[in-house]
Structure 1
Amino acid sequence: MDSILLRNMTFYGYHGAFPEEKAMGQRFVVSLELYLDLGPAGASDQLGDTVNYAAVYEDVRQVMEGPAYNLLERVAQRIAEEVLARHPRLQGIRVEIEKPSVPIPGAIEAVRVAMERWRPGGSAGQRTRR
């Protein structure tokens, strides 16, 4: 399975379970792996034969900077839903969201949620881990 990676996109948002997270906001780091067949674009050299990653970035930005959610799990799910809905060439997506400023009384660098979502009949079992 071919893929396009968008790594370490940084946004400021108001997601979190605690009132102070919703009031003050914080930085989030999002990475995506978009699964699709890149053969047609490799042969044609035409943007219409792949996924426009500038448009994908904008889809992610709208979710991250839009209405606040309590859980990173929900934010990741919304990103997966939006991107898959808007880009029919995609067979699947992996979303990773990192919260570097975790309100935990202890030493922790960050918390990260990762999820994969596939279209019905997608090739989840055929891809190899990088």
Structure 2
Amino acid sequence: MGMIRINNLRFHTFNGVLPEERRNGQQLALDIAIDYPIETRVRHDDVHETINYAEVRQVADDFISSHSYKLIESLANHLLETLLAAFPTVNGITLKIRKYSVPMPGIFDDVEIEVEGAPHAD
């Protein structure tokens, strides 16, 4: 089955548990993988037969810029619900969110949260 991937979208956000995280903000990165049957739905080289990447990015941008959470797990769950509602023709979406400035000891690149879901059947 086909997959559409938008990798490493970057956002400056004000998510976090600590007051300085919410005050100063930090960078988050997103990977959005969309399960979409490209092989059967894209037949005429027409953007209306597929998922518009710019619209996916805009939905993510609008959501992230207007919401703030203490936990990136909450951000991931609510953004996933928003994307699934906005694009009901997909088979499913996997969303990864990476946080780079995590206030914990040790040497590491980032912390990553991954969630996945499918649109609800009506």
State the TM-score, normalized to the length of structure 2.
0.92
**2:56 corresponds to 1:61:** no
Unaligned stretches of 5+ in structure 2?
none
Pairing of 1:1-130 with structure 2 (within 5 A): 1-38=1-38, 39-41=40-42, 43-120=43-120
Moved more, 74-83 or 25-34: 74-83
Moved more, 62-71 or 91-100: 62-71
Can you list the C-alpha shifts for 1:67-125, whole angstroms capped at 9, x where unaligned?
2101111111122111111112111100000001111122221100001111246xxxx
Question: Between Structure 1 and Structure 2, how many residues are aligned?
Answer: 120
Q: CA RMSD in A?
A: 1.2
Unaligned stretches of 5+ in structure 1?
122-130
Amino acid paired to 2:62:
Q
